[in-house]
Structure 1
Amino acid sequence: MTQQSVRKPRVLAFGTYNVRKHPRVGILIDGLRANGCEVTEINHPLELSTAQRVEILRKPWKLFGFAWDLLGLWRALRRDARAWMRRYGRPDAVLVGYMGHFDVLLARRLFRGIPIILDHMIFAGDTAKDRGAHGLRVRLLNRLDRMAIGSATLTVLDTQEHQLMCRPGDQTMVIPVGAPAEWYEAGAAEAARVAAGETARTNDIVFYGLYTPLQGVPVIAKAARELTKRGLTPHFTLIGKGQDYAKVRTITHGLDNVEFREWVEPEDLPALVSSHAISLGIFSTTSKGLHVVPNKVYQSMAAGCAVITSDTAPQRRVLGDGVVYVKPGDPEALADAIEGLLRDPEALEVAQVKALEASRRFSSDIITKPLYQWILHAMR
C-alpha cells in the first residue's frame, strides 16, 4: 500500500477522562492528529479529582457512591458511540483515556472487533501498595488491572518499568508522558520576556503535585530547612494538597521563604511554573516512585525551568542529561543540588537550557509516531 493510498485513520477517543485535570490523553490526541489521524472525542468527563479516582481504585466499593453518575455517563457514551457509528461506520481504533480501568470494559462491549488502545499509566494494585494497602485489597486491584489490560488490544505504558508489570502475552507500547503545547508556549513566552528585559530570572523554586508518597514532598521540606541552616533562603512555592500535606507543613513551620498554594487553575499553572528558576520532580523511595517519570518533570522542562528529580532508572534512561539528579529520599542531596545551582548562575542557566533542549524530544507529535504507525498497521 503506497503512502498516497493510505487514508487518514479514524480514531475515537472514548471515556470519562478529563483532559483539564489529566492532560495525558489530550497529548495523545494532539499527537495523533499531528501525525495525520482524524480523532473524534466521545467523552463525558467524570467530575472527580485525581485523588478521588485513586481512592476508588484503592477502595473499589466506593465506586457505588458514584455509580449513579457513572452509569449516566456510560449511557451517554453508549448513545453517542452508536450514533457516531451509524453515521460514519466503524472507527479504525478506539483510544480509552487515562485512568480508564472501568471505561475500557464498556469500550470492549461497544466496539467489538475494533482495536482498543488503553492508556494505562496507573496500575491500581501498585498505587494501592504505594499508599499503604496490602493483602486482599491489593489482590483485587491487581485483578482489576488484569481485566482492564485484557479488554484492550494494545496497552500503552509510560515507562519500561510499567511495561514489565504486564504479562509476556500482552501487546504493549511505551509512550513517554510528554507535555501539552501550552507548557512549551509558556516557556517561550517567559524566555521572550527575559530577553526583552521585561522580567529577570529569579532564584525561585516550585513544586506542584498531590503530596502523594511517590512524590516525596517531605524530602523537599527537609531540604528547604537544610538550606536555611546554610544561609540560603530561596523562595519555595509548593502547590497542591494531599496525603503528606500536614507533615510538610509541620516540617516547614517557621520558614518564611516557603509559600503554600493549595490550588492553581490548570490553565494558569504553565505560566506560573515557567516564572520559576527551578522546578522539583519526585524524591521518594517507594516502589511506584522508582517506576515513573512524572508529568511534572516533562512539563517543567518544556517550561524552561532547571529540573531536579530523583536518580531512578526510568528517569535517567528517558531524560538523559536534561535534568539534575539526586539520590531518592535524601534531603541533604537535594539541598546540595539546589545550592549548587543557586551559587553558580552559569550552571543554573546551563541546566535550564539542557532541560528545554531535552523537552523537544517529548512533544506530542514525536512521542505518538509509534502509536500512529501501529494504527496504520492495524488498518491493513
Structure 2
Amino acid sequence: MGRSATSVAVMPQSHPLSITLLHSERSDMYSQPRVLAFGTYNVRKHPRVGILIDGLRQNGCIVEEINHPLELSTAQRVEILKKPWKLFGFGWNLLTLWSRLRRDAKQWMKHNGRPDAVLVGYMGHFDVLLAHHVFRKTPIILDHLIFAGDTAKDRGAQGLKVKLLKKLDRMAINASTLAVLDTEEHKAMLQPEDNGMVIPVGAPEEWYVARDRAGENRTRDIVFYGLYTPLQGTPVIAKAARILADRGHAPHFTLIGKGQDYDEVRDITRGLDNVEFKDWVEPEELPRVVAGHAISLGIFSTTSKGLHVVPNKVYQSMAAGCAVITSDTAPQRRMLGDGVVFVKPGDAEALADAIEELLSDPKKLAQAQTNATLVAERFTSVEITKELARWITNRIH
C-alpha cells in the first residue's frame, strides 16, 4: 500500500511512563525537528495522537513521548468537560500524573535542551495548561478536536454550564501556539487572532492492515460502533432497521457501544432478531471486527455538532475497506468526496434506501467498497501530517 512501517519501542505496561525515541543513524539527526508528545493521553483508547506521532516521524521529525495515561474513557473525559467540578473527584490521580509529567519533562530538558515543539494530545484541555507552564517559550501544538462548550451543548447542556466550558476552551487555546482542528467548520469557531490548522482525523495503520487481511471474506452484514450520543444519530439507524424489516428485508446489524440514546435504540428495535448489540469490543479487536462487514455506518444526527464533524469511525471504516454510509454534511462531503455514500441527516427512510440499494446490487456494493479504499489512502498518518511537519520545521529555520 506504499506506507512505510514505523518501529516503536514500548515501555513495559506496568511502567506508567512512556518515553519513546525514533533512533537514526544519521550524524545530523538533531538537525531534524524534535517534537515532544506530552500529557495524560491514552493512545489505546484515543488513537488520534498516535496517528499524529506516527505521521510526524514518517515526515522527518524526531518524536519522543512523555506520557502518563489517565485511565478514563472518552465518556468520562467528556463528562468532566461538561461538569468541571468533577475534576476534584479524580484530582489526586491527575495531580500525581502531572507531578510525574513535570518531573520527566524537567529531566528530559536537562539532558536534551528544549524541544522544537510540544504536542498535546486529544482531550488535552487541562494538559495544555500544564504544558504552557513547563515549556515556556516553546511552540505548543494542541490537538483540539473537541470544543468543550460545543460538546456539552450537543448533549443537552445550556446556560452557565456552556459558558464556563467555552471559557475552558478559550483558556486551552490561549495556552497553545497552534490549535489543530479536524474540519474547516471547527476552525471557524476559533477567534481571528488564533492560529489554527485543519488536519483530518485519519486512521491508524492497523485499520488498513485489517482491510488487507479481510480480503474477500467479508459478510454482507452492517456494523455501527460509537457512544450513542446525539451526535451519532443512533435512533435513525434503529428506525432504518425497522423500515427495512417492514419491507421484508432483514440484513444483520451489529451495533457496538452504549450511551444516552441506547435505551431508545433498544426500544425501537425490540423484536428484530437481525439486530445484535455488543456493549464493547476491545480496541485491538475493533479493526478486524469492522473489516469483516460489508457496510459500516457513520453519523446521522441533525445537531449543530453533527453538522461540523467528520467522525473517526468514517475514516477508520474506509481504511478497513467497508462501504460507508454517512450523513450528507458540508465537512463530510468536502473531505470524503465519492469515498462514501451520503444520505440526508436524520432521515431514516433515506438510510434504509441506501442500505437496500447497496445490498441488492453486488456491483454497487463492490464499487462503494473500492471507492472507500481509494479515498482512504489520502488519510494515512503520513499524508495528513505533512503540513504540520512543515509548520514545525519552519519554526526552527
Report the TM-score when normalising by structure 1. 0.96
Q: Could you list the per-position Cα deviations for residues 360-380 of structure 1 after superposition, in whole angstroms to 9, with x for gaps in the alignment?
A: 000000000000000001112
Counterpart position of 2:319: 302
Counterpart residue identity of residue 392, structure 2: I
Taking the aligned partners of 1:295 and 1:5, their CA distance within structure 2 comes to: 33
Correspondent of 1:46 among 70, 92, 105: 70
Correspondent of 1:31 among 55, 58, 63: 55
Where does the alignment leave 5 or more consecutive residues of structure 2 unmatched?
1-27
2:244 aligned with 1:220 = no
Taking the aligned partners of 1:301 and 1:65, their CA distance within structure 2 comes to: 39
Counterpart residue identity of residue 146, structure 1: R
Shift of 1:203: 1.4
Correspondent of 1:230 among 208, 233, 247: 247
Counterpart position of 2:13: none
Counterpart position of 1:100: 124
RMSD: 1.0
* SS of aligned partner of 2:357: helix
Correspondent of 2:171 among 147, 152, 162: 147
Counterpart residue identity of residue 368, structure 2: A
Where does the alignment leave 5 or more consecutive residues of structure 1 unmatched?
none
Counterpart residue identity of residue 180, structure 1: P
Identity, % of aligned pairs? 74
Counterpart position of 1:340: 357
Shift of 1:202: 2.1
Shift of 1:205: 0.1
Counterpart position of 2:80: 56
Counterpart residue identity of residue 206, structure 1: V
Q: Could you list the per-position Cα deviations for residues 97-137 of structure 1 after superposition, in whole angstroms to 9, with x for gaps in the alignment?
A: 00000000000000000000000000000000000001110
2:152 aligned with 1:128 = yes
Taking the aligned partners of 2:40 and 2:299, their CA distance within structure 1 comes to: 28
* SS of aligned partner of 1:212: coil
Counterpart position of 2:280: 263
* SS of aligned partner of 1:215: coil
* SS of aligned partner of 1:13: strand
Taking the aligned partners of 2:97 and 2:267, their CA distance within structure 1 comes to: 41
Counterpart position of 1:183: 207
Q: Could you list the per-position Cα deviations for residues 38-76 of structure 1 after superposition, in whole angstroms to 9, with x for gaps in the alignment?
A: 100100011001000000000100111010000000000
* SS of aligned partner of 2:81: helix
Counterpart residue identity of residue 105, structure 1: L
Counterpart position of 2:4: none
* SS of aligned partner of 2:231: helix
Taking the aligned partners of 2:209 and 2:29, their CA distance within structure 1 comes to: 35
Counterpart residue identity of residue 68, structure 1: W
Q: Could you list the per-position Cα deviations for residues 184-230 of structure 1 after superposition, in whole angstroms to 9, with x for gaps in the alignment?
A: 00001111xx2xxxx3x321000000101100000000000000011
- Superposition pairs for residues 174-213 of structure 1, below 5 Å? 174-191=198-215, 194=216, 199=217, 201-213=218-230
2:336 aligned with 1:319 = yes
* SS of aligned partner of 1:348: helix
Counterpart residue identity of residue 151, structure 2: T
Q: Could you list the per-position Cα deviations for residues 337-358 of structure 1 after superposition, in whole angstroms to 9, with x for gaps in the alignment?
A: 0000011010000000000100
Equivalent pairs, count: 370
Shift of 1:8: 1.1
Counterpart residue identity of residue 163, structure 2: R
Shift of 1:7: 1.8
Taking the aligned partners of 1:335 and 1:135, their CA distance within structure 2 comes to: 37
Taking the aligned partners of 1:172 and 1:328, their CA distance within structure 2 comes to: 28
